[in-house]
Amino acid sequence: MKLLEDRIVKDGVVIGNNILKVDSFLNHQLDINLFNEMGKEFKNLFINSSVTKILTIETSGIAIAALAALHFQVPVLFAKKHAGLNMDEDVYQTKVFSYTKNLEYDIKVSKRLINSEDCVLIIDDFLASGAAMSGLINIVGQSRAKVAGVGIAIEKSFEPGRKVIEDMGIRVEALAIVDSMQDGSVVFKKFK
């Protein structure tokens, strides 16, 4: 998606050859008009998938999922990493390791809110190791809902995430695919 790639070039900050900071528009400050366009694009990509629910995970996926949901006209459900005291006890849960926080989380989704009739599009800001997405796919599996696919804003293609998910037979769509980063700049995957 050219709009997102252009924004990464303009406002992303590359640190070393692995860190891409996009906190001025994607995961700390949020450019909602960009997210709205991203939501339209996700809808175009998954238009034939009969999506009934969008699933994401705290924190950075939430606003991206919310704007996508406007276009899909379905609810968003976010898996909780930091469940409050009021959270249902009857939950689907699994463990996810976060490399950016160097912590393992129990992620939880209330059993009431997802079931075998659902067809779930999973959305997140970044795809790198695939750990968070695998956790969400695990939770959808526990509920016996169907996974429509995984929609990602920015994929790092030099990390194993896509292979991990596609090996489960699940479709992955990323709006910007970063093939490499060096000397402060980003090389995107070329599409024919």
Binding site for its own copies (CB under 8 A): 15, 19, 21, 23-25, 28-33, 35-36, 58-59, 62-63, 65-67, 69-70, 73, 75-78, 80-82, 84-88, 98, 100-102, 109-110, 112-113
The DSSP annotation for 97-129 comes to: EETTTTEEEEEEEEGGG--TT-EEEEEEEEESS
CB of 65 to its own copies, least distance (A): 8
Helix (H) or strand (E) run with residue 2 in it = helix 2-11
Closest residue by Cα to residue 130 from 95, 161, 163, 170: 161
Q: Angle 40-45-178 (CA atoms, 0-180°, nearest 5)?
A: 90
- Cβ-proximal residues to 54 (8 Å cutoff; 6+ apart), any chain: 65, 68, 69, 72, 74, 75, 76, 77, 120, 121, 122, 123
CB-nearer residue toward its own copies: 88 or 104: 88
CB of 98 to its own copies, least distance (A): 8
CB-nearer residue toward its own copies: 102 or 169: 102
CB of 189 to its own copies, least distance (A): 22
CB of 180 to its own copies, least distance (A): 18
CB-nearer residue toward its own copies: 75 or 192: 75
